[in-house]
Amino acid sequence: MIWAVAAIMALSVAVGLLWPLGSKASVRSGRVSKTMAIYEDQLSEVERDQERGLITASEAQAAQVEIKRRMLGAGEDEAPVAERSGKGGIIASALFVPVAAFALYTQIGAPNVPTVPFAERADEQRDAAQLQTLLGELKSRLESDPEGGETRGWTLLATTLMNQNRYSEAADAFSKLIDRDDATSATFSQYAEALILAENGTVTPLAGRIIAKSAELDPTNPAATYYSAIEQDQAGNSAQARALLLDRIAEEGQPAPWMPTFLTLANNIGTQLGEEPVTLPEFETPSGPKQDDIEAASEMSEEDREAFIRTMVDGLEERLQDEPENLDGWLQLARSLMVLGEQDRALAALKSAQPLVSNLPADDPRRLTVETGLAQLGFD
Amino acid sequence: MIPELGQFALALALMAALVQSLLPIIGATRGDRTWMESAQTTAVVQALLVAFAFGALMHAYIISDFTVLNVVENSHSLKPMLYKVAGTWGNHEGSLLLWVLILALFGAAVAVFASNIPLALKARTLSVQAWISVGFLSFLILTSNPFERVFPPPLDGQDLNPLLQDFGLAIHPPLLYIGYVGFSIVFSFAVAALIEGRVDPAWARWVRPWTLAAWTSLTGGIALGSWWAYYELGWGGWWFWDPVENVSFMPWLAGTALLHSAIVTEKRDTFKAWTILLAILTFSLSLLGTFIVRSGLLTSVHAFAVDPERGVYILGLLAVSILGSLALFAWRAPAMESGGLFAPISREAGLLINNLLIATACATVLFGTLYPLFLEAITNEKISVGPPFFNASFIPITLPLIIVMGIGPHLSWKRADLPGVLARLKWLAVIVLLATLVILWIANGGPLLAVISMGIAVWLIGATLQDWARRAKLFQPGAWARIRRQPRASHGMTMAHLGLGVLMMGAIGSSAWKSDTVAFAEKGTIVPIAGFEIIFEGIEQVRGPNYIAQVASLKVTQDGEYITNLYPERRVYPVAGSTTTESDIRQTLAGDLYVSIAEPASEDAAGLWTLRLIYEPLVNFLWIGSVMLVLGGALSLSDRRLRVGAPRRAVPTNATPAE
């Protein structure tokens, strides 16, 4: 359909561009004849002005002499110009325009995206309205609860509101949680995030206190560090803010999913300070295979390779007995064991990782990996 | 599908513009009639395509199609329909599309209506116009695509700002753009004439209607913007020497100079190079304005440097068109022989002074606008050049201009009789002097410069009226018939010059004798201002369709006598989460009494409200004068006849009818 209409458009444009081929020569198209027309007009205007008494006869005469002198200077029309010699150019242009436009359109267009008038999206709006109703019901149920409402309920309400960019309402919901015994560092940092987003990125004094509390509960919570850096930067201590971020990356000692975000902020602050952008440090992958090992593995036969991988995995498992806090190590081990089909050992690895993720925010990818892994293996 | 067809139409338009930028101008050089004529069809085709694209975008706004990113970012399903439509051009991409549309429409208008223009000149002009089109269409498509899509569409749009939902704001940009971009066709005519190497009275005559049309709508656009600032922003000012205002004012100044210089070229075959240069400069200033506003340079020079893609593209376009046309000018202009000679005292000389003064004024504004930008770029220091600079530099240049403006129309072409003219104007001078003394007495002192400026405005109005009466021989029988037979352009000149005088009075009155008070009021408080007493009678809560308002009730008296009641409001829009101030104004010809309320003075002072009172004398003269300027332009535009300078003889007193 769209291509048919576009083709009709392109065709009409081509026909339009061919139009000059069919037109007839006009009688007075040359420069001199057009100019003469203007001067003749000027002469008659002088006559009329004189008749009307706007200028005296002598003034009129002087003006007429001047105009006539211009008429003499205008010269003769050039010889009749070539007729239709440029047929080829016109035809070529009528071909060029549609073809080139199609070529350009295929680069920039999105022909498969339909037009969706707002009025035709009643279903979607009803769903959205329903979600609002549910949220409203949830909220009033939690509020009417004499014991303050379940923590899980408030968390659900707050995170849903955050997803809908309703930051100040989300902040309200989080504020109900912070005085509870089960409030973790993540509760505080999420509350701070809602407060900051509600103020379009400004860290208010209240948000600052919440961040401090979050950092106090868990100094390793990256969100707390991130928002303290923003707070420092807004307070004018940009250099400290940048150092805070970079130090935290260095402390971690191994790659983590939050690092790119940290680095972007650090470099943005760095640009303002006139510092060169930095990149993530080269981390020694603590327990993974070295580059040489990978190359060695790729040259082996199928059995040899599996045996090699098993050695690697066994080595990792052994090493992890000594460093039980190495979450990424446990995750890698579990992943490798799943690939090797050793579900029991994978389950054991995930169980070892479980206490390490219990303090992480609910949407942390590592926590999700552990939880989904345990669920898959039938352990809950 | 429709947004995609709009996108396709833009691609077609770009390609058509490419063809139009080459075939006709090559045809004009080779003497190929068909190639030259192709300009007329491509120009029309291009305009239709861009109009289709613009219509497609507007359609997306009307049906709130949130698969178009531009609609998501700049509209909302709950906006009133008028502002959905106006949203089409209320953003970067849409306003550029409007820019390109007006560009194409001017090209098409020349193709269709300018039948009295030689084919070769028309072909070259339309090719030059197409060069500009290619530049801006590619800018639009490559960096600011209005038809960017999102799928699945977000639930609703993001923009529901009640402040921006204003009728004046909705129609101000299109009018301003017609003026801004309208000067493009004059630029194209100038560049075509340079390429052709020929500028003569006929050329000036062909270009005149286009200059007038652009000037008239630019005048209207600027006036409307000023009017909006005065009534809607609620700050009680109408001109702030803000960079956004300055960039529209500079093309207006240059265009005004161009309008006058082109008259000399048309009537006396001289000032040719100067007219061409002004045509180039006027459009260059329009481009500069587009660059400054559209590149984000104004928010911060550094914000521009961080995301420079758009800015650099326009800067490139700006450099190519301005430097290119100026280089062409430098190469070709010296070859243009000057035509008619004139004496130091003549209409020509008067217009020359006018041009020099306007050009200087324009340069002043340019300096004041660009200096802070350069300073910030180099030293990182942010300064703002405000009214003090412009008042100190712009006004001293314009006052002599206005004095000369009164005399100019009395001078005849070629060689004028200055003593005769001055003798004719001496009674007027006496009247102006008396009027100035009266103003001094009424104003009871006041800034001396303002009193003198008022006198100069009276001078301009008087001299213009006297010139008109003299031409019509107003006090002799048959005057009405003579008035009707006079060319409309000459009435247009009278109207526009009178308009400027009236506008001046408004500008001076409302800035020099403005009174401004802020008071904390509770029930019964009486605040005196400019001879009025304002009595605060209390606040009432009123519920509007989508807002809650606190309406203050104010009684205005003068010397104890009741004048009127005023009801300024403060509105809170709970859904949009914003507050607006609706001022109330008592408008009279003598001046506006302007009142607004802000929130309670402090939380513990319940019942105590902040009242802002402004009295602006003569401010309505501004709008009346602006309307007269626009009417003057329109009157001149409706006169298609030629004006031919009728030189006086050397000794006019001895003039006797010849033959």
Q: Which residues in chain B touch residue A29, judged by CB atoms under 8 angstroms apart?
A: 33, 118-119
Q: Residue range B597-617: average pLDDT?
A: 74
CB contact under 8 A, A59 and B77: no
Question: Mind giving me the DSSP string for B315-359?
Answer: HHHHHHHHHHHHHHHHHHGGG--------SSSHHHHHHHHHHHHH
CA distance linking residue B217 with residue B177, whole number of Å: 8
Cβ atoms within 10 A of the Cβ of B130, count? 29
| Residue B649: per-residue pLDDT | 37
For the segment A44-60, the average pLDDT, to the nearest whole number, is 76
* pLDDT one-digit tens code per residue, B132-145: 999 999 999 998 89
| Residue A75 forms part of a structural domain | no
Residues of B in contact with A51 (CB under 8 A): none
- Residue B116 has its nearest CB partner, among A34, A82, A93, at A34
Residue A174 lies in a domain: no
The amino acid at residue A111 is: P
Do A289 and A308 fall within a single domain? no
Tens of pLDDT along B502-549?
999 999 988 888 888 888 888 888 888 888 888 988 888 888 777 888
Q: Place B652 in a pLDDT band, splitting at 50, 70 and 90.
A: very low
Do A349 and A258 fall into the same domain? no
Task: Indicate if A327 and A274 belong to the same structural domain.
Answer: no
pLDDT at A27: 47
**Positive or negative: CA dihedral B67, B72, B73, B75:** positive
Please tell me the distance in Å from B31's CA to the nearest CA on chain A. 5
Domains defined along chain B, listed by start:
1-160 (1.20.120), 417-513+621-636 (no CATH), 515-617 (2.60.98)
- Same-domain pairing of A207 and A282: yes
- Indicate yes or no: CB of A34 within 8 angstroms of CB of B117: yes
Of B1, B34, B648, the CB nearest to A20: B34
Q: Which among A90, A97, A110 is the nearest to B16, CB-wise? A: A97
SS3 sequence of A157-195: HHHHHHHCCCHHHHHHHHHCCCCCCCCCHHHHHHHHHHH
Closest CA–CA distance from residue A213 to any residue of chain B (Å): 31
Least confident of A102-111, B464-473, B619-628: B464-473
Within a domain: residue A191?
A: yes
**pTM (predicted TM-score):** 0.76
B475-497: per-residue pLDDT in tens?
788 788 878 877 888 899 999 99
**A-B C-beta contacts closer than 8 Å:** 220
Residues of chain B found within 8 Å of residue A132, distances taken between Cβ atoms: none
Contact between chains at A116 and B65 (C-beta distance less than 8 A): yes
Residues A279 and A189 in one domain: yes
Together in a domain, A244 and A194: yes
Determine phi and psi for B135, rounding to 5 degrees: -55, -50
Q: What gap in Å lies between CA A6 and CA A14, rounded to an integer? A: 12
Q: What domain range includes position A321? A: 302-376
Task: Report if residue A232 sits inside a domain.
Answer: yes
Domain boundary among A269, A293, A317: A293
Q: What is the pLDDT of residue B299?
A: 64
Residue contact B12–A17, C-beta within 8 A? no
Q: What is the CATH number of the domain that holds A366?
A: 1.25.40
A357, A284: one domain: no
Assess if residue A16 is contained within a domain.
no
- Domain annotation covers residue A148: no
Residue B471 is nearest to which of A21, A54, A89, comparing CB atoms? A54
Domain end (from A244, A262, A293): A293
Contacting residues of A for B646, CB less than 8 Å apart: 46, 49, 54-55, 59-60, 62-63
Name which residue leads in pLDDT, A52 or B414.
Answer: B414
CB contact under 8 A, B11 and A104: yes
Q: How far apart are CA A211 and CA A226, in angstroms?
A: 9
Query: Taking CA atoms, what residue in B is nearest to A114?
Result: B1
Evaluate if residue B645 carries a pLDDT over 50: no
Q: With an 8 Å Cβ cutoff, is A268 touching chain B?
A: no
> How far apart are alpha carbons B353 and A353 in whole angstroms?
87
Residue B254 Cα, gap to closest chain A Cα (Å): 27
In this complex, the residue of B31, B201, B649 whose CB is nearest that of residue A81 is: B31
d(CA B320, CA B327): 10
Residues A199 and A266 in one domain: yes
- Smallest Cβ–Cβ distance between B118 and the set A29, A87, A116 belongs to A29
Q: Which of B2, B7, B10, B15 to mutate to test the interface with A (most CBs of A within 10 A)?
A: B15
Last residue of a domain, one of A238, A273, A293: A293
Inspect the interface and report whether the beta carbons of B644 and A16 lie closer than 8 Å.
no
Question: Shortest CB distance from B655 goes to which of A41, A56, A78?
Answer: A56
Instruction: Clarify whether residues A283 and A211 are in a common domain.
Output: yes
- Does residue B601 carry a pLDDT above 70? no
- Which chain A residues have a beta carbon less than 8 Å from that of B648? 59
Phi first, then psi, for residue A284 (nearest 5°) are: -75, 115
Of residues B120, B149, B206, nearest to A113 (C-beta): B149
Q: Is the pLDDT of residue A220 over 90?
A: no
| Inside any domain, residue A333 | yes
β-strands B569-573, B548-558 pairing: antiparallel
The answer to whether the CB atoms of B38 and A20 lie below 8 A apart is: yes
Which pLDDT belongs to residue A102?
Answer: 94
In a domain, A114, yes or no: no
Let me know whether A346 and A261 are in one domain: no
- Count up the domains in chain A and report the number: 2
Confidence of residue B657 (pLDDT cuts 50, 70, 90): very low
Instruction: Clarify whether residues A262 and A327 are in a common domain.
Output: no
DSSP B653: G
Yes or no, beta carbons of A58 and B118 under 8 Å apart: no
A165/chain B closest Cα distance in angstroms:
12
ipTM of this complex prediction, to 2 decimal places: 0.81
Quick check: A27 contacting B, CB < 8 Å?
no
CA distance B565 to chain A (A): 40
Contacts of B200 in chain A (CB under 8 A): 35, 70, 74
Question: Do A232 and A323 fall within a single domain?
Answer: no
Task: Select from A1, A5, A26, A35 the residue whose CB has the most chain B CBs within 10 Å, as the one to mutate to test that interface.
Answer: A35
Identify the residue whose tokens are 């070629």: B414
